[in-house]
């Protein structure tokens, strides 16, 4: 059963400018394994994290450090959650994440489907 969906779009140039104005954002938004990526990839991962938050109903208290966007050897993205994000997912009954990310024409886009069993918090 679909527990939640989320989508987000990020203007890559505007995101780059935000990172230049506030360099500490990189450390606040991304885990160490993500921080060395190019701006396009960071924007796509930020869009994915925003989409994940939306799929969870944007609960208060989620820490971006508790959500990683990983890729396998073929380049397919996946969601890895822990601590505050994992707790929010458990509360909504999320068992599986489906993620698609893309960047083209100056935009980064992410779409997330959270799948699992509905709970009283997620119904």
Binding site membership for Mg(2+): which residues? 8, 50
Q: Residue ranges for the binding site?
A: 8, 50
The DSSP secondary-structure symbol of 30 reads S
Six-digit token string for 99: 């993620």
d(CA 25, CA 27): 5
CB 69 within 8 A of CB 79: yes
- 2-11: strand order across its sheet: 2-11, 107-116, 94-104
> Looking up tokens 């799929």, which residue turns up?
55
């Amino acid at each position: 059963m679909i527990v939640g969906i989320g989508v987000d779009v990020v203007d890559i140039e505007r995101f780059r400018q935000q990172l230049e104005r506030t360099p500490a954002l990189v450390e606040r938004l991304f885990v160490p394994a993500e921080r060395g990526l190019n701006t396009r990839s960071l924007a796509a991962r930020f869009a994915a994290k925003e989409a994940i938050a939306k799929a969870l109903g944007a609960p208060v208290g989620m820490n971006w450090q508790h959500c990683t966007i990983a890729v396998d050897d073929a380049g397919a993205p996946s969601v890895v959650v822990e601590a505050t994000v994992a707790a929010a997912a458990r509360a909504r009954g999320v068992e599986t994440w489906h993620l698609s990310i893309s960047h083209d024409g100056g935009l980064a886009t992410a779409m997330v489907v959270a799948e699992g069993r509905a709970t009283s918090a997620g119904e």
